[in-house]
Amino acid sequence: MPDPDAPVIVWFRRDLRLADHPALHAAARSGRPVIPLYVLDETPGVRAPGAAARWWLDRSLRALAGDLQARGSQLILSRGVAAEIVADLAEETGAASVVWSRLYDGGAIVRDTALKAALKDSGMEAESFNAALLSEPWALKTKTGGTYKVFTPYLKALRASIGDMSLHDAPKRLRAPRSWPSSDDLDAWALHPRRPDWSTGFDGTPGEAGAQARLHHFIDQDLAEYARGRDVPAGDATSRLSAHLHWGEIGPRQVWRAAEAAAHRRPHLQASADKYLSELSWREFNHEILFHHPDLATANYKPAFDTFPWSDTHTALAAWKRGRTGYPMVDAGMRQLWATGVMHNRARMIAASFLIKHLLIDWRVGERWFWDTLVDADEANNPANWQWVAGSGADASPFFRIFSPMGQGERFDADGAYVRRWVPELAKLDARYIHAPWTAPDEVLARAGVTLGQTYPRPVVDHDAARRRALDAFKGLSSPLTPP
Ligand SMILES: Cc1cc2nc3c(=O)[nH]c(=O)nc-3n(C[C@H](O)[C@H](O)[C@H](O)COP(=O)(O)OP(=O)(O)OC[C@H]3O[C@@H](n4cnc5c(N)ncnc54)[C@H](O)[C@@H]3O)c2cc1C
């Protein structure tokens, strides 16, 4: 006879919310006691969050713990090899089942598959749910039964697949177990950056309430301008939901539904809402790519790039990381990243392109820097976008499309507001020269208080020469650039 008081363990991972959480909903509905668990996982092969992401995680866990407490529950924290911790806790508490939300990176899949089998072998129930995606990465198939490799048809298929969007509310109360297992102290995990602590200016309000507030602010204030303004780094037109989505403080179904409802209420928002939902769908597409290419962060999606002659002289890398390349748009982006843990998408593209094409540094080096410094660093979105910029990725921008940081600046930061904000030593420079200060006459520089090579660096590479060098390197690739 199954014990009705045997608890359900809800293993939280990147689903740090209570609403629209199918695993938590199932646990609450079972009527059993619920033990919410978070493990700071040390499983080999599972990518550990970078330093900036750990800062976010720290705050997000505090928010989740508070939200659970308000429902009569408690978040149990433990650190180590997750499968061992979950299995031990299940045994210790006499749990009837363990439930969680699925993740789609290779390391997590291997870990979770083995754990599910082990739990079932020992007579427990184990069930996983989808809380992170609109569509599971294996669900959409092309007419010939293959996986999508091109975004536009994928988007069409995704939109056609979207059906019932009803969402689960957060449970009002959670039944507590007879006694609570022991928990780590979050402070002892020291998730906060140290030596140096560069987190003082980090952007965002981690946690479910912060995510909901951000979504509503965006829908009410910024959605109308999104289609026009999303490419302007100095503007505020994007949703800034990426870290919330990465940590699962909000689900894509909640976001999708809110944008569609806004467009339904105010039809003039439709074009902007469509653009927004299409950007959100890149997240889905990238998860599909990651699921089918678990080594996305380390291997070229297009193997033709395996012979690319990357430069191994990395003296310019330090300048790139510190935002001192002498190219103001690149430097503004890199400094925004360091100061806030986020970077506007347009600046990410410009900075990544500069590293890969102007400096000929392997995209994996940049991917790892972003992994450590972005609060939204994501197993799917980060490598997929780096490969997109490099040209080695799925449906990627061709390698030979080389961004000019000056041209990008003139187009997307015409008055130089973004550069002035993040590169204050150029703040007084005439807009005509702000994206190429080395072209300014001496008296213009002097009036703005700029001394090249002293107050602001000269360019680390010459744009035209770097462009030619990149195109020559690309021409050397032998095999055709077709996807695998
Ligand atoms: C080199 C590079 C690295 C990147 N690394 C990451 C990363 O680690 N994590 C991450 O979430 N995004 C990454 N992006 C994508 C994009 O820059 C961010 O998602 C976006 O800037 C987040 O701001 P937002 O939430 O205001 O976006 P919005 O414009 O409001 O978009 C809404 C949501 O759609 C999704 N989205 C938007 N653009 C993309 C995109 N190009 N690819 C995938 N999803 C997208 C995000 O979840 C985002 O929150 C990267 C882009 C580049 C060029």
Segment 459-481 mean pLDDT: 86
Tell me how far the alpha carbon of residue 21 lies from the centroid of ligand 1, in angstroms. 23
Query: Which of these is catalytic: 363, 369, 371, 388?
Result: 363
Spatial contact of 211 and 17, defined as CB atoms under 8 Å apart: yes
pLDDT at 198 (0 to 100): 87
Q: What does the block give as tokens for 248?
A: 């699962």
Provide the b/e sequence for 223-259 (b: ≥16 CB within 10 Å): bbebbeebbbbbbebbbbbbbbbbbbbbbbbbbbbbb
Atom of ligand 1 lying closest to residue 285 CA: 43
Question: 387-399, pLDDT tens digit by residue?
Answer: 999 999 999 888 8
Whether the pLDDT of residue 333 is over 50: the answer is yes
Tell me how far the alpha carbon of residue 233 lies from the centroid of ligand 1, in angstroms. 13
As assigned by CATH, the class of the 8-131 domain is alpha beta
Question: 405-431, pLDDT tens digit by residue?
Answer: 999 999 999 999 999 999 999 999 999
Query: To the nearest whole number, what is the mean pLDDT of the chain?
Result: 95
At 153, the pLDDT band (50, 70, 90 cuts) reads very high
pLDDT at 482 (0 to 100): 46
> Between 365 and 476, whose confidence is greater?
365
Q: Domain coordinates of the chain in residue numbers?
A: 8-131, 133-167+208-292, 303-475
- Among 279, 353, 412, name the best residue to mutate to test ligand 1's pocket (greatest count of ligand atoms within 8 A of Cβ): 279
Question: 62-81, pLDDT tens digit by residue?
Answer: 999 999 999 999 999 999 99
pLDDT at 480 (0 to 100): 47
Tell me how far the alpha carbon of residue 295 lies from the centroid of ligand 1, in angstroms. 20
Whether the pLDDT of residue 436 is over 60: the answer is yes
Tell me how far the alpha carbon of residue 287 lies from the centroid of ligand 1, in angstroms. 13
Query: Which of these is catalytic: 189, 198, 310, 438?
Result: 310
pLDDT at 208 (0 to 100): 98
At 483, the pLDDT band (50, 70, 90 cuts) reads very low
| CATH topology classification for 133-167+208-292 | 1.25.40
Atom of ligand 1 lying closest to residue 243 CA: 11
Residue whose structure tokens are 């992170």: 132
DSSP 404-472: PHHHHHHHH-TT-HHHHHH-GGGTTS-TTTTT-GGGS-HHHHHHTT--BTTTBPPPSS-HHHHHHHHHH
At 478, the pLDDT band (50, 70, 90 cuts) reads low
* CA–CA separation, 460 and 324 (whole Å): 8
pLDDT at 203 (0 to 100): 82
Quick check: do 8-131 and 303-475 share a fold? no
- The partner residues of 257 in beta bridges, in order of sequence, read none
Rounded to 5°, angle at Cα 447 from 452 and 406: 50
Q: Does the domain spanning 303-475 belong to CATH 1.10.579.10?
A: yes
Query: Which of these is catalytic: 279, 338, 410, 438?
Result: 279
Closest residue (by CA) to atom 25 of ligand 1?
A: 240
At 196, the pLDDT band (50, 70, 90 cuts) reads confident
